[in-house]
Amino acid sequence: MHNPMEQHPITPDWLQRQPELKTTIAKDNPNYWNADPQCLTTSSNIHTLNFGTGSSLYETSILPAIATADSEVILVTCFWARSRTLDALNNTLLQLSAKAIKTGKKIRIRICFSSLSIFQKLFHTTSLQGRTYAPSEWQRTLGLPPAEEMAGLDLEVKSIFIRPFSVMHPKFVVIDRKRVFLPSCNISWEDWFEGSVELSGPVVGQFVRFWKDFWASEREQYAGFIEGSRAEDDLVQNNSTSGTSASPSLPIHELHASVQSMFLPSPHHRNPRFALLPWRPCPPPPPTPLNTFILAALANAQHSIYIQTPNLTCPPVLSALLKALARGVNIEILTSERLMILEQLGTAGTTTKRCVKKLIKRHERLVAEYKARIRGDADPVLLESGELGRKQPGRLTVHYYRADPSGAGISGSAEPVQSHLKLTIVDGEVTVLGSGNMDRASWFTSQELGVAFFSKEFAAYVRSELDPMMVGRRKCVYDAR
């Protein structure tokens, strides 16, 4: 298997820059990749890719997989709310408990989340040890089954939130350390358009290490699960790093095997780094692996960029997109006109709609300046300064997501009223999926997590599955070269 560094210019740019940032990211938590950024290079076996609402993704793919667990389930999500998804998860936990009681071996369940309610966030401890919920709180506070009904489970539930804005935003589920699901949805009630990819192989070990470094208790981090079977822990660890699919419950098919990948964590930060004076430029975002990789991908794009994101309010992203357009790169964006407006104003001081309008105006100016240059009547100052590009600007297409007016739904589930998918595809060969939005909160304060896949075939497959579902669910705002 070739190293992904050898195949694409994005990774050398990103990896070469990381050693320069050691001092900047020294206080990040986690930051285990600081000494050796190449430890984030990996590979993935891609088994399934599904789209739908959050509840449908959990009910049709994630929960059936959880039900097959023999030793351990790690579930990390951002928002936790009483919902159809939680009800279905509760049923699965009860099934696992009954199975464990029959076999006489407890199944370890670790549930990690960040946001439960406004009250919870206002009064949450700021310690990175977080809050671990007592069994007596599981039903009343979290909506889980009573502790006595889950006697077969070694269950621990923890929340971490750092005031004022640092929400832990990743979402992933690791089963027996043999496979992992990377969904865009939370344990919540919203009927939003979501996506989920199922992976096995060495990439699973990346998720486990991230969880252990940030979420696991000190007992679990340093004792190696002494209370359980060491042989069992060695087995699941070996399965997660060897690339083999030892579990008979894994799907027998693979969409794509041994896809070169990059694990992209993004630690939280308390300082939102607002530019208090409106005429001051936005400061650069924290140089996390996810942030720097995305910026490198946009800067190295040669012909096309596709972005689907709930919100678009991050100034460095908007600037990178404008530069790509000036180089002649075609850009397609699908975002939301009105989603979490108050959150956008609080964390970015603006809205997606305003940012989209600015991007469109700047693209129109690029096109006008290019046409003026072709006619020979361009501004001499611009020509001399080099600000006027020599290439024809790329085509910019912007859509707002809208629910299908027919209310058709997806595969028998409810009609998604908003799009919550986080997806970036560059040049039809680099695909990034995960929790990160293209908004200021994700780039400056939230903890995020993504995976980049280096595969033309997988990028094409994603579009072939996604595009038909967007027919009738998008409203064109702008389409011009």
Q: Do domains 54-263 and 264-480 have the same CATH topology?
A: yes
Gap between the Cα atoms of 4 and 261, Å rounded: 7
Tell me, what DSSP letter sits at residue 121?
H
Q: Given CA atoms 203, 47, 264, 343 in this order, what sign does their dihedral have?
A: negative
Instruction: Evaluate if residue 455 carries a pLDDT over 50.
Output: yes
Gap between the Cα atoms of 390 and 374, Å rounded: 9
Show the tokens assigned to 330: 């075609």
Q: What pLDDT score was predicted for residue 147?
A: 97
User: Over the stretch 69-105, which tens digit does the pLDDT of each residue have?
Assistant: 999 999 999 999 999 999 999 999 999 999 999 999 9
Instruction: Evaluate if residue 2 carries a pLDDT over 60.
Output: no
Q: What's the average model confidence in pLDDT over 330-359?
A: 89
The b-or-e profile of 80-109 (16+ CB within 10 A means b, else e) is bbebbbbebbbebbeebbebbeeeebbbbb
Q: What is the CATH number of domain 264-480?
A: 3.30.870.10
Residues in the chain: 481
Question: Any idea which residue has 């043999």 for tokens?
Answer: 178
Q: What is the mean pLDDT of the chain?
A: 87
Q: What pLDDT score was predicted for residue 225?
A: 44
Q: What pLDDT score was predicted for residue 369?
A: 86
Instruction: Evaluate if residue 382 carries a pLDDT over 60.
Output: no
- The full set of domain ranges for the chain reads 54-263, 264-480
Gap between the Cα atoms of 342 and 348, Å rounded: 10
Q: What is the CATH number of domain 54-263?
A: 3.30.870.10
Helix (H) or strand (E) holding 430, with range, is strand 430-434
Q: What is the DSSP string of 137-191?
A: HHHHHH-PPPGGGGTTEEEEEEE-EETTTEEB---EEEETTTEEEEES--BS---
Instruction: Evaluate if residue 386 carries a pLDDT over 90.
Output: no
| pTM given for the model | 0.90
User: Over the stretch 143-173, which tens digit does the pLDDT of each residue have?
Assistant: 999 999 999 999 999 999 999 889 999 999 9
User: Over the stretch 215-226, which tens digit does the pLDDT of each residue have?
Assistant: 997 667 554 443
Share of the chain above pLDDT 90, in %: 70
Helix (H) or strand (E) holding 101, with range, is helix 84-103
User: Over the stretch 265-279, which tens digit does the pLDDT of each residue have?
Assistant: 999 998 877 765 555
Q: What's the average model confidence in pLDDT over 416-424?
A: 97
User: Over the stretch 211-264, which tens digit does the pLDDT of each residue have?
Assistant: 999 999 766 755 444 333 333 344 344 444 444 333 334 444 677 889 999 999
